[in-house]
Each structure stands twice: as C-alpha cells, then as structure tokens.
Structure 1
Amino acid sequence: MEWYEYPWKLVQNKIVRYPGGREIDRFRGIFPGEDDGRPEAWVGSDTRTSDAAEKGGPNDGCAECILPDGRRCYLFEVIDACPEQVLGKAHQEKNGGKLGVLVKLLDAQRQLGLQTHPTRDYAKAQFDSDYGKVESWYVLSKREDSAEPPYVLLGFKEGVTREDFARGFDDGDISAMENCCHKIPVEVGDTYFIEAGTPHAIGGGCFVAEVQEPSDITVGARKLREASPEEQLRHRDRLLGCYHYDGADYEENLKKYRIPPQTVRRGDWGKEQLLIGPGQTEYFSFTRLDLTGETELVRTGYPQVAIVLSGSGTLFCGGCELPLKQADELFFPNSCGALTVRAQEGEALSLLLCNPAGVSFTPEKYRP
C-alpha cells in the first residue's frame, strides 16, 4: 500500500495567542500543565495564523503529520504533492486544493474579547478572503478554579439595534457592548453553532474543540489603538457592518445556537452522534463516536480529521495497527482503505470526527 492509503498521526502543537493553555496540557496528560500563553492547538490544519509573519514563523498554525515511513512534514506539503489521493476528486470539485476546514483545541483562561466573523461575501469584499468564518464549539471540560462558572456570550438580545451597539463602540464601553449579548452558562458536552455575523466571546474556564471555516479573520469590538480619524472611521464602518443585528430572547437564542446531538448510527459496539451538520451549515460537519467494542468508521468520500477525546484502543487499516490514546490527533486521507476502530477491553473510547464541506449523512451510510 502507498503512504496515502494509511491514516497518519499528527504532531501536536500549541499556538501563541492569549492567556491559557493549561487545559490543553492536561488533556494531553501533562500535569499540572501551564498557562503559557499558548491556548490554541490547530489540528490537521493547512491554514496559517493571520500574524504568522510577525511571529517569524511563516507556517505558524499549519499542522505537521507523521507518514507511515516516519517522514515528518507539513500537511499542506503532502496535499500539494498528491492532492487527488489525499483529498479525493469529490473534495477537489467541492473545495479546491485546500482542506477546507480548520479544527482547534481552545483553552480560555480568561474571557476572550467580544467579536464576530464575516460571511464569505463580506470577507471577500472587505478582507479579500475566499473564506468567511462560520464556526462551532464543543465543550470538552471546564476549569474548576475559574472566578465564575464558565459561560459564553452568544447572540444579541432581543431588540438590540446597530445604533445601540454603535453607541457602546463610540463610547469605548465594552461592558455596554457585552451587555447587548446573552450570557449562557455552559456544560461539558454542549455544542454551539456560531453563524457569521453573530456576536460572541468564550468565557474564562472553557476548554472547547472548535470546528470552523479555515480562516483567521476576527472582527473585534474595539477601536484601533493608533490610527488617523479617517482610518478609525473606515474601521468603525467595517466593524459595525460585519455584525448581524438579529437578536432574540434568551430561549429562542438557545434554540438557535445550542445544537442537540442527533444519533446517526448505533450498535452493540456503541453509537455515533452528529453534532454539527447540514442542518446548521454547508461548510463543515463533525460527529462524536463512542464505543466499547469494535466498529468500522464510515468512509465519507472526503478526508477527515480526528481527535481522541478519551479512552484508548486501536485503529486498523490494511494490516496496519495504530494504537490510540486520549488527545491523539489523526488525519485520514481520502485514499485510506477500510478503517476499523476497537476500544481497549474494559474501556470506553471516544473520537471527534471532523469533515470538510460535501459530506452527507444519508441513511445508506448511517443507519441508526
């Protein structure tokens, strides 16, 4: 078999951004862990951070993979070398020569700044980007030593207008802008969908898996630190124009953004649940697979990024056995053959399986 017919393990990374990082360490079995200002891991990524050049690392944010022969290289390099084998024909027709999805682990020690992200049309017009930034969060754990119970700010309250939000922006009153949004306490296992244009902020103490469009464009809620009056005015117009002022009351907001899981298949081995799918967005999807026995993975016709959420076991492919443990990160090229996963005897094994645009969840593939 060729190297692209096997699954690959990915090299774990941590990205310099803002306060946090301890929970990524602990998830990976490193205790006590450290809040080292590296609060994000970009998993199976062929996307660069927006400030990669400033950091002095032109490939900052890009994941490395370990091929079956032991070679270590960037994921984008192997995609460029064999795009049809790694991505597949259907993927290339749908998504071009890029992976088309970005998966992260994100650990917020303190609340992140209020922000939103552009739609694809707005991103093209204002940022010359082919991607907007629709995203989603799956809550993996919560810090027990946070100043308050972990939460997210998500969605405008009912009746909030652009003028209300602009007033807070003009006054430099971040609290007033945050108060325009719903504050939602989170629980482990919650899934949230964040449409482009939706105001949001991850609260302190949240450790999440984030699946999103492959973009690093963030539109905050603050004035530029140093700019001429003309630059500030352009910034204000672009910022306020990126937010969508379609508020709702608390319960309607929850129905819109907190997504219940949907079981897509089950057996005596366990079950697989769709967490985010075509009902929310056409740009990506992901499932959670929980098993105590053995099952074949559903081959989607597209490449796939996986994270082992808990437990241990073995992945089988073409006579190859790949041991699995919590926090392992994997990439499944489209050319992989049949993939079978088995939980360690006496243990439960859970994986997050993340897909680019184009994957369907038809009864022919997924039978509850």
Structure 2
Amino acid sequence: MEAPADAKVGLGFAQSMKKDVVHDMVKRMDSAALLASLTMIPVKPGDAILVPAGTPHAIEAGIFVLELQEPTDLSALLEWEGFAVDGIKDGHLGLGFDTVLDALRFDPISAAEQKELIKSTGFTSKQSQSLFTSKADGYFRADLLPGDGSKTNAGFSILLMLDGDGILKTANSGSIAVGHGDALVIPWSAGDWSLNGGVGVVCRPPLPAAAALAP
C-alpha cells in the first residue's frame, strides 16, 4: 500500500538452512541474524506477494500493508524484537519451537518461483484486475477497482478505498458515500454491487472451484 524508497521485504531463506541452526537463533533471540538470513526483495506501492505456508518472511520498517490470510490462527513467530509479545512463551502455538519449526521451509525460493508469487500493478490500471498472481486463487482474492461502476457479484467482501471519493451502490441495501481510507464490510445479503468513483481494493474469499484445487 505504502513503502519508502528502497523498501524491502524478506521472503524465504537466502540459502538452505538447518533446523538446529534456526532453532539456535530463535532461542538466542538473535533477530539480526534471523533477518540477515532471508532473501530481501525490493518492493514499492502496488506490489502483491503471496507467501506460501511455512515460508519465513519479514517486512521492513515503514511499509504499510494490506494483509490477507486464510481463516486460521496458525502463525509462528521466530523473532519479535520491538513487539509487545512474549515470543518464547507464545510464538510457537503452544507446541514448542522444536515441533513448530518442522513446518518451516528451510530451502530458498528460486527466482522462477518468485515470479509466480509476486505481481506489481502500481494501482494504475483503469480496469478491474487481480492484485495477486493466479497462485493465490485457491486461498483468497484481492482486486483493484477503478471506480468505473463495474458490477461485483454478491458475496462477502471487504472494500478498502485507496483514493478519491465515490458511491458504493448495492442491489439490496441502497448506496453509501465512500472516500479515501474508508474500510467497509459488504455482506452477501447486500447483493451485487459497484463502486462509482474513487479507487478501491476489494478482498474476498476464493471461488469454491479454485479453493477445492488449492494444495
């Protein structure tokens, strides 16, 4: 959504790691070493990254993100410097780090795989389009809406307004004025809807057919 110049995110280890080495860094709370072990990728506003399950990742300071997740609470913390979290106690889902680290991907993400996970739109399109690559289709959807009045089918949605002012028109629940920074939950019962004016991002669950094929 927003990122300073030269912003980066970490996505996967930069080289193959051993579980005991990672475990040692976690136990020592060596945040610097953990962050240095990641592949750092430059990012800018409008970039979308799918983080596969088990992939270690980090976000540099100053980056503002819109984060989509599957409906689970299965995040493990390997480092927590600067956060009001007791990671040693609460960072491992109650399983202990020796167990939870088995879910980690210790091999790097290849350059070819990166291309399947990262997409950049710059939020500049004049037409509705997915912010993610097709790899995300089975897990969730996020689409840029340019405010041209195109119909969005009925279904649970969250709309975040990125820029400008507009009118959200629904088939069953009337209309509402929306503007930059507004976030709205749109229930299925509102029916089909459209954004007229402004620019927004709509976040939705996956289509059932795509979810059924997700690994």
**TM-score (normalizing by structure 2):** 0.76
Alignment-derived partner of residue 98 in structure 1: none
Q: Which has the larger radius of gyration?
A: 1
2:168 to 315, 323, 345: 315
Question: Which residue does the alignment assign to 1:157?
Answer: 14
1:340 and 2:201 correspond: no
Corresponding residue for residue 206 of structure 2: 357
* C-alpha distance 360-325 of structure 1, shift in aligned 2 (>3 A): farther
Partner of 1:94: none
Shift of residue 360, structure 1, vs aligned partner = 6.6
Counterpart in the other structure of 1:290? 146
Q: What amino acid sits opposite 2:108 in the alignment? A: G
Cα distance change of structure 1 residues 340 and 158 upon mapping to structure 2, 3 Å threshold? same
The change in CA–CA distance for 1:159 and 1:338 in structure 2 (over 3 A counts) is closer
Could you tell me which residue of structure 2 aligns to residue 329 of structure 1?
183
SS at match of 1:276: coil
Kindly indicate whether residue 159 of structure 2 is the aligned counterpart of residue 306 of structure 1: yes
Q: 1:320 to 1:182 in 2, by over 3 A?
A: same
The alpha-carbon distance between structure 1 residues 166 and 208, as it changes in their structure 2 partners (threshold 3 A), is same
- Residues in 1 aligned to 2:27 and 2:65: alpha-carbon distance in whole angstroms: 32
Closer, same or farther in 2 for the Cα pair 1:337/1:168, shift >3 Å?
A: closer
Q: Secondary structure at the match of 2:175?
A: strand
Q: Does 1:176 align with 2:62?
A: no
Asked whether the 8 Å contact 1:277–1:284 carries over to 2, the reply is no
CA contact (8 A) 1:166 1:240 kept: yes
Match of 2:82 in 1: none
| Residue identity matched to 1:334 | W
8 Å CA contact 2:11, 2:39 repeated in 1: yes
CA distance in 2, matches of 1:157, 1:353: 33
Question: Would the alpha carbon gap of residues 355 and 298 (structure 1) be closer, same or farther in structure 2, given more than 3 Å must change?
Answer: same
Counterpart in the other structure of 2:88: 224
Aligned residues: 196
Unaligned ranges ≥5, structure 1? 1-139, 344-348, 362-368
Which whole-Å CA distance do the structure 2 matches of 1:240 and 1:304 have between them? 34
| Matched-pair contact (CA < 8 Å) for 1:313–1:341 | yes
Moved over 4 A (4+): none
**Cα deviations across residues 137-191 of structure 1 (Å, max 9, x unaligned)?**
xxx11257xxxx4321111123333344234335543322222211222211111
Q: CA deviation at 1:359?
A: 5.7
Q: What TM-score results when the alignment is normalised by the length of structure 1?
A: 0.47
Which deviations, in whole Å up to 9, do the C-alpha atoms of 1:237-286 show, x marking residues without a partner?
Answer: 1232121123135x34632432345xxxx9xxx30111136532522111
1:258 to 112, 118, 123: 118
The separation in 2 between residues aligned to 1:285 and 1:310, in whole angstroms, is: 20
User: What residue in structure 2 maps to residue 33 of structure 1?
Assistant: none
- Structure 1 residue 192: Cα displacement: 0.8
For 1:337 and 1:248, how far apart are their aligned partners in 2? Answer: 41
For the residue of structure 2 that corresponds to 1:207, the secondary structure is coil
Within 5 Å, which residues of 2 pair with 1:77-226?
140-143=1-4, 149-221=6-78, 224=88
CA distance in 1, matches of 2:97, 2:185: 40
Aligned letter for 2:66? A
What secondary structure, in the 3-state scheme, does the structure 1 residue paired with 2:2 have?
strand
The secondary structure found in structure 2 opposite 1:183 is strand
